[in-house]
Structure formats: C-alpha cells, structure tokens
Amino acid sequence: MTDTRRTEQVHPDFPDLDCLPPSELVRVLAADQQQALDAVQQAAPALSAAVEAALPCLEAGGRLIYAGAGTSGRLGVLDATELTPTFSWPPERAVPLIAGGEKAIRQAVEGAEDDFGAGKRDVLGAGIGPRDVLIGVAASGSTPYVLGALEAGQQAGAVTIAIANNPDAPLLGAARFAVLLDTGPEIISGSTRLKAGTAQKIALNTFSSALMVRLGKVYGNLMVDVRATNHKLQGRAVRLVRHATGAEEPEAKAALEAASGSVKTAIVMLKLGLSAAEAEARLRAADGHARAALGE
C-alpha cells in the first residue's frame, strides 16, 4: 500500500546524495531548510488565530501543555523549558508531555508513539482544564499518542492546537486550531528531524514568543522578564536597563540590586524616579506590562 504522506515520500531531486562531496552535501542540506521557513510563513494566519485564542486562557492563569513523540516531542520539551529563563514564565505553567516519558528525551522508546491511550492518560494526568492550551505536534499528523492527547484536551474544553507537516492529516482535524507546515519530502527520505522538525521549531518559537510579548514579558523588543541566573545574563540585564533608560552602568546596577534583579522593575524605577516597591506596585496594577506602568 502506497503511503501518500508527503513527509514519507522519496525526494525526487537527490538520488545520488550519498555521492556528493562534503561541500556540496552541506550546501544542499542547508538549502533544503528554506522550505521550513516558507511553510511557517504560509501558516502565519493559522498561528495568529491560535495566539488570539490562547492569550485569554493564559491571562486567566492557564497553562501551555505540549504533546508529541520523538523529534516533535523533544521540540515541545525544548520550547516549554526555555520559557522560564527567557521570560520568567512559571515552569509549572509550561508542561511538556512526550511519548515514553522523560526517558524518551534522550533515547527512542519503541512503540510509545503508537499508544493512543497513553496520550490521553498523560493529558488527563496533567489535570488539563478549560483554561489550558494544548499543542499537539507530529510531523506525520497521524501519531496515535498525539491524537489521544488532543482527544483528551478537546473533551476537557481546552484550547487545542495541532501542528503537522502533511495536508489532510488526521491531527489537523482533531484540534480546534490546525497549523499545517507543508514541508514536503525530506532530502534524506523520511527523516523528519530535518526540515519538518525545523518548521516545527520555528512555529513553536513563533507561537510561544508571540504569547509572551502580548502577556507583557517584553518592553519594546527588550526581554525585560529575563531571569539573570548567571554572569552572562546579569550583564545582559544591566545592558537592557541602560538601553531602556539611558542610565549609566552604576545607576543601572544599583536599580537592579534594589529590584532583586528584575529588569522590568528597574526600568520603571529609573524612568519614573520611583522606589522598587512603588515600581512593583505600578507593574502589578498594569498586569505586568511595563509600557502601561510607564503610561506610554
């Protein structure tokens, strides 16, 4: 029986891929990734609609829950994990679920992706509810684990989003919002860790970053909720405060120290001449949005 999924088809252009010299091999592998960006740009309206629907859920205290298997599951784990250091998003509000559990992050767990019931159980076990946002990701668009996860999300009344790389995939019909990333056949046939995975990474980055911007985690284009947990990030925090306020380095450092390292608080302090407590109060009244707290 012929597999009609585009991600499973043999790429027609490179039958002698294994004969190419390294310079040409690298060139064609890199060039093929352009289709990942093209696919995400085509999906921009669908991603925008998903952001609009997800935003009020997160404003009401809901969570982002990711479900995937293999490469797609690992990309969900990555996106969820990076929200905390980048935007100080509470880790308990970004829940990655991967077929086969944590072991599958580093090694394949045979058969885990084929378990529809496990996907459903994992989502129910996460306590999903109507304020949550569930993102199911699968290149094939037919992974049973992810289909089970989305069914549980739908039944719980959550906002459900499906991301898949094949037109007419079952996954796209199993969620409230369908995001098709039509990347076509892989240059190494069937290896969806290539441009299908790249497109998923771009789409997840775009989706979660857009949400964080709209939630006030960014002022202008500055990541003002960065968590300065090492020397590099501490230096970045000082530079962000200086850029936003025009303050000299000693003044920026003093404001950050008074603000317990909060870039956003330090900016409000310096721009409005407030104490740390006063700046924090203004930010709370503005739901954490620096521009609103500054009256801009």
Tell me which H or E stretch contains 160: strand 159-164
Active site includes 82? yes
HSE toward the beta carbon, residue 229, CA cutoff 13 A: 8
Show the tokens assigned to 49. 């609609």
Q: How is residue 7 written in tokens?
A: 């991600």
Q: Residue 140 gets which letter from DSSP?
A: S
The length of the chain in residues reads 296
Q: Which tokens sit at 52?
A: 């609009």
User: What is the side-by-side strand order in the sheet with 64-68?
Assistant: 94-98, 64-68, 133-138, 159-164, 177-180
Task: Tell me whether residue 110 is one of the annotated catalytic residues.
Answer: no
Question: In degrees rounded to 5, what are phi and psi of residue 97?
Answer: -115, 130
Distance CA 56, CA 151 (A): 22
- d(Cα 240, Cα 229) in Å, to the nearest integer? 15
**Do residues 217 and 87 lie in contact, with contact meaning Cβ atoms separated by under 8 Å?**
yes
Catalytic residue among 8, 82, 251, 278: 82
Q: Tell me if residue 239 falls in helix, strand or coil.
A: helix
Contact of 162 with 175, CB cutoff 8 Å: yes
Angle CA 231–234–238, to nearest 5: 140
Q: Which of 8, 24, 59, 113 is catalytic?
A: 113
Please list, in sequence order, all residues whose beta carbon lies within 8 angstroms of the beta carbon of residue 191, skipping any fewer than 6 positions away.
none
Straight-line distance from the first to the last Cα atom of the chain, in angstroms, rounded to the nearest whole number: 62
What is the residue whose two structure tokens read 């767990």? 109
Catalytic residues: 82, 113
